[in-house]
Each structure stands twice: as C-alpha cells, then as structure tokens.
C-alpha cells in the first residue's frame, strides 16, 4: 500500500516526519534509484526500493530509551565539529536511535531517543501538549510578578509563549532554583523566557516528559522504556491513542 514518504521514513526509524522532510529536500532519499524531488511523493515499501544516502530503508524493531544527557554533548547523531554526540552514549544498543527534540550543548537531563518516527512526531507536535519539565538555576531572585508573567505567557521573538507552570524550589543569596513546565519546544525557549524577565539561566536540566521522570538515572546513563513508561508521557489520553507501543 502506498504511503507518504515522510511517514514511511518515520516508521522505519530514519527520522521524525519533520526531519524526514529535511532529508528529502537535501536530495538524500531515492525511490527505485531516482532522487525524490517532491515533498508529497508516495511509495509502497513492499514494492519500491527506498534508500537514504544509498542505504536501503528497512523496518526495525521499535525501541524507546530515556537518556540522562550530560552537558557537553550535542543532540545529534553526528557533528561536523567533532564534538561528543548523544549517540556516543548508546553504543551498547545495536539499533540506530535518534533524539526526540533537542537539548542545548550545556543543558542536561531527560532526552528521549527512539527509532519510532511516528511516536517522536506525536511527542513534538503541539497538538498533543506533551509537558516538558525543567529545573532552572537563575541569577538573582525573580519577583512573584516576574514569574507570573512566565505563567501567563511572555512575548519571545514576536510570539507569545503558551502558559507555563512555575514553582520556586529554593531561593539563595545570589541565585534561585525554579521548576518550570512548558509544552512548547522552541529553540532555547526556557533560557529566553528567563532572559526576558532579566534573570539569566546559570544551569538548566530537563527532569521529565509528562509524568516520565529521570528518577535516580545518573548522567550519561540510559534505561529502556516499557509500555507503561511511554504512557506516562501523554497526559491528554482522550485525544491520542498510542498505537506504536507493544503490549
């Protein structure tokens, strides 16, 4: 049966649907030897030979991993500058897993990695409102009024952010530890939000996706997720049925 090429690449674990579009635009995908040039192209994996960078696209067993990313690692599978990448921390896993979203080089914490592009797309899509919780150590002591701005939504790059949940964990003389929960994924969003209220982020760590937390997982280590773990990610259960999670 023919399907859109982005969906096929996502199912095969090559990339999320969004990332698959980038591969197509770069001319890295071929069907039966022909470079794909149109974004709406369809194919039948049972009949057509689909390749990415010359390698056949094959369907692998789905795997889901929660990694505690340390600072200093790039959230990609390869880096032209030769910096450490998160894939270096998963050498014991025989499958090629890609990160779901990104964490900045200096940001630590929870990073989902999988070869299930459909699930990754659902986590990243704003419609499903998957919460991401962070602990931010910020300079100074933000006032209640400043934090209320973040809770209501604040203008960043001409667009107002969605409401956030904010909780002060600890106030000290020169800095404050704050827990913030958002369900958007704009680049450097948490850092920009605090910068907008004049409190620079000194250290940032993502602690959870939905109700799936890091727990006692040490930095640089990972654990393979169970179906029950994955269901903790999606809080809007009525609007989304998880089809890709094995029983």
Burial, 103: exposed, middle or buried (Cβ in 10 Å; 0-12, 13-18, 19+)? buried
Is residue 151 within 8 Å of residue 143, measured between CB atoms?
no
Is residue 153 within 8 Å of residue 162, measured between CB atoms?
yes
CA 97/CA 195 separation, integer angstroms? 33
Known catalytic membership, residue 104: yes
- Cite the DSSP H helix spans in the chain: 5-11, 17-25, 117-124, 144-152, 189-196, 227-231
Which H/E stretch holds residue 138? strand 132-139
Q: How many CB atoms lie under 10 A from the CB of residue 123?
A: 22
Among candidate residues 48, 79, 104, 229, the one labeled active-site is: 104
Tokens in use for 166? 């904010």
CA 133/CA 35 separation, integer angstroms? 41
Tokens in use for 163? 């409401």
Catalytic residues: 104
């Amino acid at each position: 049966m023919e399907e859109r090429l982005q969906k096929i690449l996502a199912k095969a674990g090559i990339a999320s649907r969004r990332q698959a579009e980038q591969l197509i635009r770069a001319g890295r995908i071929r069907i039966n030897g022909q470079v794909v040039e149109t974004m709406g192209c369809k194919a039948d994996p049972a009949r057509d030979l689909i390749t990415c960078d010359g390698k056949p696209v094959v369907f692998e067993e789905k795997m889901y991993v929660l990694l505690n990313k340390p600072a200093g690692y790039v959230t990609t599978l390869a880096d032209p500058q030769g910096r450490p990448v998160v894939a270096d921390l998963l050498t014991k896993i025989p499958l090629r897993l890609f990160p779901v979203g990104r964490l900045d080089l200096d940001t630590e914490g929870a990073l989902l990695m999988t070869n299930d592009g459909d699930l990754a797309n659902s986590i990243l899509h704003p419609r499903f409102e998957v919460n991401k919780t962070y602990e931010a150590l910020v300079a100074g002591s933000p006032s209640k009024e400043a934090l209320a701005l973040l809770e209501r939504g604040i203008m960043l790059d001409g667009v107002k952010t969605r409401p956030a949940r904010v909780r002060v964990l600890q106030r000290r003389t020169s800095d404050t530890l704050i827990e913030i929960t958002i369900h958007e994924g704009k680049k450097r969003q948490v850092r920009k939000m605090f910068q907008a209220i004049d409190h620079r982020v000194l250290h940032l760590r993502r602690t959870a996706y939905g109700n799936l937390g890091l727990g006692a997982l040490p930095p640089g280590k990972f654990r393979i997720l169970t179906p029950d773990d994955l269901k903790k990610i999606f809080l809007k259960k009525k609007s989304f049925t998880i089809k890709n999670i094995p029983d």
